[in-house]
Chain A
Amino acid sequence: EVQLLESGGGLVRPGESLRLSCAASVFRFSAYAMTWVRQPPGRGLEWVASVSASGATTFYSDSVRGRFTISRDNSMNTLYLQVTSLGAEDTAIYFCGRSLSSHPRATAFDIWGQGTVLTVSS
Protein backbone atom coordinates (compact mmCIF):
# COMPACT_ATOMS: atom_id res chain seq x y z
CA GLU A 1 0.00 0.00 0.00
CA VAL A 2 1.29 3.46 -0.91
CA GLN A 3 1.83 5.34 2.31
CA LEU A 4 3.62 8.09 4.18
CA LEU A 5 4.55 7.86 7.86
CA GLU A 6 5.57 10.91 9.84
CA SER A 7 7.63 10.87 13.03
CA GLY A 8 9.68 13.17 15.22
CA GLY A 9 7.03 15.32 16.84
CA GLY A 10 6.87 15.97 20.55
CA LEU A 11 6.85 18.56 23.30
CA VAL A 12 9.59 21.18 23.06
CA ARG A 13 10.31 24.50 24.74
CA PRO A 14 10.20 27.87 22.96
CA GLY A 15 13.38 28.53 21.03
CA GLU A 16 14.28 24.86 20.64
CA SER A 17 14.72 22.85 17.45
CA LEU A 18 13.49 19.51 16.13
CA ARG A 19 13.58 17.44 12.95
CA LEU A 20 10.42 15.89 11.57
CA SER A 21 10.63 12.91 9.22
CA CYS A 22 8.27 11.41 6.67
CA ALA A 23 9.04 7.91 5.41
CA ALA A 24 7.58 6.88 2.06
CA SER A 25 6.84 3.37 0.93
CA VAL A 26 5.62 1.48 -2.12
CA PHE A 27 6.04 4.28 -4.66
CA ARG A 28 8.88 5.88 -6.59
CA PHE A 29 9.60 8.62 -4.05
CA SER A 30 12.18 10.35 -6.24
CA ALA A 31 9.59 11.09 -8.94
CA TYR A 32 7.33 13.34 -6.84
CA ALA A 33 7.50 16.76 -5.26
CA MET A 34 6.61 16.68 -1.56
CA THR A 35 5.12 19.09 0.93
CA TRP A 36 4.58 19.79 4.62
CA VAL A 37 1.21 21.17 5.76
CA ARG A 38 0.29 21.94 9.36
CA GLN A 39 -2.91 22.33 11.32
CA PRO A 40 -2.96 24.17 14.65
CA PRO A 41 -5.42 22.80 17.23
CA GLY A 42 -9.00 23.55 16.21
CA ARG A 43 -7.94 25.54 13.16
CA GLY A 44 -7.57 25.14 9.40
CA LEU A 45 -4.83 23.81 7.16
CA GLU A 46 -1.70 25.89 6.56
CA TRP A 47 0.80 25.16 3.78
CA VAL A 48 4.34 25.20 5.20
CA ALA A 49 6.87 24.20 2.55
CA SER A 50 7.40 22.22 -0.65
CA VAL A 51 10.41 20.59 -2.29
CA SER A 52 10.93 19.42 -5.87
CA ALA A 53 11.41 15.77 -6.76
CA SER A 54 15.17 16.19 -6.98
CA GLY A 55 15.39 18.28 -3.84
CA ALA A 56 17.02 21.17 -5.67
CA THR A 57 14.11 23.61 -5.39
CA THR A 58 12.31 24.60 -2.21
CA PHE A 59 9.56 27.05 -1.27
CA TYR A 60 8.40 28.26 2.15
CA SER A 61 5.51 30.14 3.69
CA ASP A 62 6.29 33.60 5.04
CA SER A 63 5.63 32.40 8.59
CA VAL A 64 8.42 29.79 8.56
CA ARG A 65 10.94 31.07 6.02
CA GLY A 66 14.35 31.40 7.64
CA ARG A 67 13.41 29.10 10.55
CA PHE A 68 12.33 25.85 8.83
CA THR A 69 14.23 23.82 6.24
CA ILE A 70 12.61 21.20 4.02
CA SER A 71 14.85 18.53 2.52
CA ARG A 72 14.74 14.98 1.24
CA ASP A 73 16.93 11.92 0.91
CA ASN A 74 15.76 10.05 -2.17
CA SER A 75 18.07 7.14 -1.40
CA MET A 76 16.26 6.67 1.92
CA ASN A 77 12.77 7.56 0.59
CA THR A 78 12.46 10.12 3.36
CA LEU A 79 11.31 13.74 3.59
CA TYR A 80 12.47 16.01 6.39
CA LEU A 81 11.48 19.27 8.04
CA GLN A 82 14.09 20.87 10.27
CA VAL A 83 12.31 23.32 12.56
CA THR A 84 14.21 25.91 14.61
CA SER A 85 13.47 28.94 16.80
CA LEU A 86 10.14 27.40 17.68
CA GLY A 87 7.33 29.46 19.16
CA ALA A 88 3.88 28.69 20.51
CA GLU A 89 2.44 29.58 17.11
CA ASP A 90 4.20 26.52 15.63
CA THR A 91 2.13 24.13 17.76
CA ALA A 92 0.23 21.98 15.28
CA ILE A 93 -0.23 18.60 13.64
CA TYR A 94 2.32 18.40 10.84
CA PHE A 95 1.30 16.39 7.77
CA CYS A 96 3.50 15.41 4.86
CA GLY A 97 1.95 15.02 1.44
CA ARG A 98 2.86 13.74 -2.02
CA SER A 99 2.30 16.10 -4.92
CA LEU A 100 0.66 14.89 -8.10
CA SER A 101 3.63 16.29 -10.02
CA SER A 102 7.40 16.49 -9.87
CA HIS A 103 7.51 20.26 -9.56
CA PRO A 104 6.79 21.94 -6.22
CA ARG A 105 4.65 24.84 -7.51
CA ALA A 106 1.41 22.98 -6.95
CA THR A 107 -1.10 22.27 -4.22
CA ALA A 108 -2.63 18.97 -5.33
CA PHE A 109 -1.45 16.32 -2.87
CA ASP A 110 -2.89 12.85 -3.32
CA ILE A 111 -1.18 10.87 -0.55
CA TRP A 112 -0.94 12.07 3.05
CA GLY A 113 0.58 10.77 6.24
CA GLN A 114 -1.37 10.50 9.48
CA GLY A 115 0.44 13.50 10.97
CA THR A 116 2.86 14.08 13.83
CA VAL A 117 2.05 16.42 16.71
CA LEU A 118 4.45 19.21 17.64
CA THR A 119 3.72 21.12 20.83
CA VAL A 120 5.77 24.15 21.82
CA SER A 121 5.32 25.09 25.45
CA SER A 122 7.39 26.11 28.42
Chain B
Amino acid sequence: QSVLTQPPSASGTPGQRVTISCSGSSSNVGNNAVAWYQQLPGTAPRLVIYSNDQRPSGVPDRFSGSKSGTSASLAISGLQSDDEADYYCAAWDDSLMGVFGTGTKVSVL
Protein backbone atom coordinates (compact mmCIF):
# COMPACT_ATOMS: atom_id res chain seq x y z
CA GLN B 1 0.00 0.00 0.00
CA SER B 2 2.89 2.39 -0.83
CA VAL B 3 1.57 5.85 -1.50
CA LEU B 4 4.95 7.57 -1.85
CA THR B 5 6.32 7.31 -5.37
CA GLN B 6 10.04 6.98 -6.09
CA PRO B 7 11.90 6.25 -9.33
CA PRO B 8 12.82 2.54 -9.49
CA SER B 9 16.47 3.23 -10.18
CA ALA B 10 19.19 5.87 -10.21
CA SER B 11 22.86 5.65 -11.04
CA GLY B 12 26.08 7.58 -11.22
CA THR B 13 29.83 7.20 -11.47
CA PRO B 14 32.10 7.51 -8.43
CA GLY B 15 32.30 11.11 -7.27
CA GLN B 16 29.07 12.18 -8.99
CA ARG B 17 25.92 13.48 -7.32
CA VAL B 18 22.74 11.43 -7.42
CA THR B 19 19.29 12.71 -6.46
CA ILE B 20 16.25 10.57 -5.60
CA SER B 21 12.73 11.99 -5.53
CA CYS B 22 9.80 11.03 -3.32
CA SER B 23 6.37 12.19 -4.38
CA GLY B 24 3.44 12.12 -1.97
CA SER B 25 0.37 14.14 -1.13
CA SER B 26 -0.86 16.83 1.23
CA SER B 27 -1.78 14.18 3.81
CA ASN B 28 1.73 12.74 4.14
CA VAL B 29 4.81 14.49 2.70
CA GLY B 30 3.00 17.81 2.50
CA ASN B 31 2.06 17.82 6.18
CA ASN B 32 4.56 15.61 8.00
CA ALA B 33 8.30 15.07 8.31
CA VAL B 34 10.09 12.84 5.83
CA ALA B 35 12.73 10.25 6.66
CA TRP B 36 15.08 8.41 4.32
CA TYR B 37 16.55 4.92 4.71
CA GLN B 38 19.41 3.06 3.11
CA GLN B 39 19.10 -0.73 2.86
CA LEU B 40 22.01 -2.91 1.79
CA PRO B 41 21.16 -6.41 0.53
CA GLY B 42 20.21 -8.78 3.33
CA THR B 43 20.37 -6.16 6.06
CA ALA B 44 18.02 -4.00 8.09
CA PRO B 45 17.28 -0.44 6.97
CA ARG B 46 19.56 2.36 8.18
CA LEU B 47 18.22 5.86 8.88
CA VAL B 48 20.17 8.44 6.87
CA ILE B 49 17.85 11.49 7.03
CA TYR B 50 15.04 12.46 9.45
CA SER B 51 12.85 15.53 9.84
CA ASN B 52 13.28 16.26 6.10
CA ASP B 53 16.91 17.36 6.25
CA GLN B 54 18.55 16.19 9.49
CA ARG B 55 21.37 13.65 9.54
CA PRO B 56 21.71 11.18 12.42
CA SER B 57 25.06 10.95 14.10
CA GLY B 58 27.48 8.90 12.01
CA VAL B 59 25.88 9.59 8.62
CA PRO B 60 28.32 11.38 6.30
CA ASP B 61 27.46 14.90 5.17
CA ARG B 62 27.48 13.58 1.60
CA PHE B 63 23.84 12.68 2.32
CA SER B 64 21.38 15.56 2.32
CA GLY B 65 17.60 15.84 2.30
CA SER B 66 15.10 18.49 1.29
CA LYS B 67 11.36 18.93 0.98
CA SER B 68 9.13 21.24 -0.98
CA GLY B 69 5.36 20.92 -0.90
CA THR B 70 4.34 17.32 -1.47
CA SER B 71 7.75 16.17 -2.73
CA ALA B 72 11.01 15.34 -0.99
CA SER B 73 14.48 14.54 -2.26
CA LEU B 74 17.58 12.73 -1.09
CA ALA B 75 20.91 13.73 -2.59
CA ILE B 76 24.12 11.73 -2.38
CA SER B 77 27.18 13.69 -3.38
CA GLY B 78 30.66 12.29 -3.95
CA LEU B 79 29.10 8.93 -4.81
CA GLN B 80 31.02 5.93 -3.49
CA SER B 81 30.78 2.21 -4.25
CA ASP B 82 29.40 1.45 -0.79
CA ASP B 83 26.46 3.80 -1.46
CA GLU B 84 25.09 1.12 -3.77
CA ALA B 85 21.86 0.12 -2.05
CA ASP B 86 18.10 0.51 -2.01
CA TYR B 87 16.77 3.81 -0.65
CA TYR B 88 13.31 4.42 0.78
CA CYS B 89 11.50 7.55 1.88
CA ALA B 90 8.89 7.41 4.64
CA ALA B 91 6.35 9.76 6.17
CA TRP B 92 3.40 9.71 8.52
CA ASP B 93 0.02 10.01 6.82
CA ASP B 94 -2.84 11.95 8.38
CA SER B 95 -5.04 8.87 7.90
CA LEU B 96 -3.12 7.65 10.97
CA MET B 97 -0.59 5.30 9.49
CA GLY B 98 2.98 5.31 8.32
CA VAL B 99 3.85 5.00 4.65
CA PHE B 100 7.03 4.07 2.82
CA GLY B 101 8.07 4.92 -0.69
CA THR B 102 8.31 2.38 -3.48
CA GLY B 103 12.09 2.30 -3.20
CA THR B 104 14.97 3.31 -5.48
CA LYS B 105 17.93 1.11 -6.35
CA VAL B 106 21.09 3.18 -6.59
CA SER B 107 23.87 1.76 -8.73
CA VAL B 108 27.44 3.01 -8.90
CA LEU B 109 28.72 2.56 -12.46
Interface residues of A (CB under 8 A from B): 35, 37, 44-47, 50, 59-63, 95, 97, 100, 105-110, 112-115
Chain A neighbourhood of B96, CB < 8 A = 59, 105
Q: Is B68 on the interface with A (CB-CB < 8 A)? A: no
Pairwise interchain contact A47-B98, C-beta atoms closer than 8 A: yes
Residue B88 CB within 8 A of the other chain: yes
CA–CA, A62 and B99, complex, Å: 11
Check B97 for interface membership: any CB of A closer than 8 A: yes
The verdict on B20 contacting chain A, using a C-beta distance below 8 Å, is no
CA distance A114 to B40 in the complex (A): 12
Question: Nearest A residue to B44 by beta-carbon distance?
Answer: A112
Q: Mark B2-41 against chain A: 1 for CB-CB distance below 8 A, else 0.
A: 1000000000000000000000000000001101010100
Ordered by A's residue number, 5 sampled pairs between the chains whose C-beta atoms are within 8 Å are: A45-B37, A45-B100, A112-B44, A114-B43, A115-B44
Once the chains bind, are A45 and B103 in contact (CB under 8 Å)?
A: yes
CA distance A7 to B102 in the complex (A): 27
Q: Does B47 contact A (CB under 8 A)?
A: yes
Q: Is the CB of A45 within 8 A of B1?
A: no
Give Cα distance in the complex from A108 to B90, angstroms.
8
Contact (Cβ within 8 A) A45 B88: yes
Given known A107-B90, A112-B44, contact A47–B50 (CB-CB < 8 A): no
Q: Which residues of B contact A63 (CB under 8 A)?
A: 1
* Interchain CA distance A23-B45 in the complex, whole Å: 18
Would you give the 0/1 interface string for B57-81, flagging 1 where the beta carbon is closer than 8 Å to chain A? 0000000000000000000000000
Nearest Cβ on chain B to A65's Cβ, whole angstroms: 9
- Out of A44, A45, A60, A115, which one reaches B97, CB within 8 Å? A60
**Which residues of chain B are within 8 angstroms of A44 by Cβ–Cβ distance?**
2, 86, 88, 100-103
A47 touches B44 (CB 8 A): no
Residue in B39, B43, B45, B56 with the greatest tally of chain A CB atoms within 10 Å: B45
In the bound complex, do residue A105 and residue B92 qualify as a contact, i.e. CB atoms below 8 Å apart?
Answer: yes
